[in-house]
């Protein structure tokens, strides 16, 4: 069964801190998506990765295929980064299997 | 920036009633999805739709659920006879290309329709 596990479940940080959220996934998942869900519920796609590393602004996502592990990093965190960050795996089809999310709060 | 639009944003209904949730995907997108999120739980896949037919559905998507693209722009999710456990946020999503064919492909979600079944 395809599964996606995230850690930590909750994360608090001071503004400016470097943040890492981790995601492990099972055999059968060929690509990993990172998404952001805001308090109102809306979901925004951040990255889709099947290998290597991607960067967008202060966000960096990496994936290690051998270890079946991905990380999302936020550099110079800011209170507006406060949200739930979700990793979701994609197997042989186009459906996503979501993790439980990491609730991030960044305090000024 | 193009958006996926969902209506209604919130619907309250009585158990046993039919509900239709509507979505307008981005105009040049070809793949459409419904996901749901029960309060406090993770997002779950319901169904994917391409070329006017269902391409995949989950165990949740039983005979009470149906999807339709009635007019080439709207993409609807119908729940025939709602149950209490159908209360959730329902997200529509669309993408231009199936994943894996383009690194720049983006899955775009709507803001969600919150369904409350009493």
What per-residue confidence (pLDDT) applies to B1?
74
Quickly state the pLDDT bin for A68 (edges 50, 70, 90): very high
DSSP B92: E
User: Is B104's pLDDT higher than 50?
Assistant: no
- pLDDT tens-digit series, residues A9-61: 999 999 999 999 999 998 788 889 999 998 877 899 999 888 899 999 999 99
Contact yes or no for A43 and B58 at CB 8 A = no
Quickly state the pLDDT bin for A94 (edges 50, 70, 90): confident
Quickly state the pLDDT bin for A2 (edges 50, 70, 90): low
Alpha carbon B36 to chain centroid, angstroms: 7
B96 vs A: CB within 8 A: no
d(CA B117, CA A40) in angstroms, rounded, equals 20
Residue B83 CB neighbour total at 10 angstroms: 11
Contact yes or no for A95 and B42 at CB 8 A = no
Token readout for A104 is 């991030």
């Amino acid at each position: 069964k395809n599964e996606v596990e995230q850690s930590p479940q909750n994360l608090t940080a001071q503004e400016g801190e470097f943040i890492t959220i981790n995601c492990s996934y099972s055999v059968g998942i060929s690509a990993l998506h990172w998404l952001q869900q805001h308090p109102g519920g809306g979901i925004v796609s951040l990255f889709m990765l099947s290998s290597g590393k991607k960067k967008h602004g202060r966000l960096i996502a990496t994936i290690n295929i051998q270890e079946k592990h991905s990380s999302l990093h936020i550099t110079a965190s800011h209170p507006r980064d406060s949200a739930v960050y979700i990793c979701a795996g994609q197997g042989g089809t186009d459906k996503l299997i979501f993790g439980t999310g990491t609730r991030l709060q960044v305090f000024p | 920036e193009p958006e996926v639009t969902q209506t209604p944003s919130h619907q309250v209904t009585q158990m046993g009633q039919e509900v239709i949730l509507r979505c307008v995907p981005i105009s040049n997108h070809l793949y459409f999805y419904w996901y749901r999120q029960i309060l406090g739980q993770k997002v779950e896949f319901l169904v994917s739709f391409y070329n006017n037919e269902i391409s995949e559905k989950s165990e949740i998507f039983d005979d009470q659920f149906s999807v339709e693209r009635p007019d080439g722009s709207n993409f609807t999710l119908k729940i025939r006879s709602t149950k209490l456990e159908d209360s959730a946020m329902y997200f529509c999503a669309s993408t231009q290309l199936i994943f894996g064919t383009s690194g720049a492909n983006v899955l775009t979600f709507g803001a969600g329709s919150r369904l409350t079944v009493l």
